[in-house]
Amino acid sequence: MPSRTTRSITLTGPDAAMFANAQFGSAVPGLAIGHWQWSGWMDPKGRVRALLQLARLEDDRFVAVPRGGDGDALAADLKRFVFRAKVKISVSDVLDVADGDARAAMSAEENGDVIVFGEGDASLRIGVLRGDDAWLPRHIERGYAWLPDDLLDRLLPPALSMERLHAVAFDKGCFPGQEIAARLHFLGGHKKHLRVVRSDAALQDGESLRINGREVGNVLMCHASHEINTSLVVLDDSCADGTMVETDNARLHIVSTFEA
């Protein structure tokens, strides 16, 4: 499959941290310069509009990299909420996504026109470079989702394991979708979880998983290697009480399940 691309969104100005904290789900003010964190932008109903890698490169400059979706459209929508805040929002040209060498976990740095997100034993590079998908199996294994277009504005934070990633925080003040996200956090009740599966047939990003015609899940990311098809999926708990799930699409072997 072709390498993935994205557009980064840059927030600059004395109110950049305050603005990002009010819009995104993570606790932004405590993010140190030269580091990154997972975050997300939800709609008022708590559905995830964007899953983000958010880096603080200077005291008043943040770069958000959407993992899926239209960066132009996201930036335009963010601008609607600026009001009197002293923050400037800009969007990059199309950027490639590529694997990188070992860098300190959660570190962020700029190398020319490339931003490097450290993961400890590896890194992810975003910029004008030759893209690749060598990072893809690692991110599938670790439950780092990349959202297909068909699943934007459809999934709630627990389905993407966003609490595990600290992409949502409930002790930092209000943000869009907070009420729904907090209700699910404190009361539970969400019946979909993120899972790594191996399948006997190749799946496609964004594919709807069905049993007897009923949708029971969705495919987020896929990787095939040596006839082994590995995917990151969101799957209903009701059909995943064992290690094997027979869907209309393929037979799925559940390798791991991520908590909310």
pLDDT of residue 189: 75
Contact 60, 40 (CB under 8 A): no
pLDDT of residue 132: 96
Residue 56 β-bridge partners: 35, 62
CA distances from 126 to 20, 45, 151 (A): 20, 30, 23
CA distances from 234 to 183, 187, 215 (A): 20, 20, 11
Q: How far is the C-alpha of 119 from the C-alpha of 125, rounded, in Å?
A: 11
From edge to edge, which strands make up the β-sheet containing 5-6?
5-6, 95-100, 123-127, 114-118, 108-111
Query: Helices (H), strands (E): how many in the chain?
Result: 4, 16
Q: How far is the C-alpha of 82 from the C-alpha of 97, rounded, in Å?
A: 29
Residue 96 β-bridge partners: 5, 127
19, exposed or middle or buried, with CB in 10 Å at 0-12, 13-18, 19+? buried
pLDDT of residue 1: 59
Q: Tens-of-pLDDT digits for all 260 residues of the chain?
A: 568 999 999 999 999 999 999 999 999 999 999 999 999 999 999 999 999 999 999 999 999 999 999 999 999 999 999 999 999 999 999 999 999 999 999 999 999 999 999 999 999 999 999 999 999 999 999 999 999 999 999 999 999 999 999 999 988 889 999 898 888 878 877 899 999 999 999 999 999 999 999 999 999 999 998 889 999 999 999 998 889 999 999 999 999 999 88
Q: How far is the C-alpha of 258 from the C-alpha of 125, rounded, in Å?
A: 25
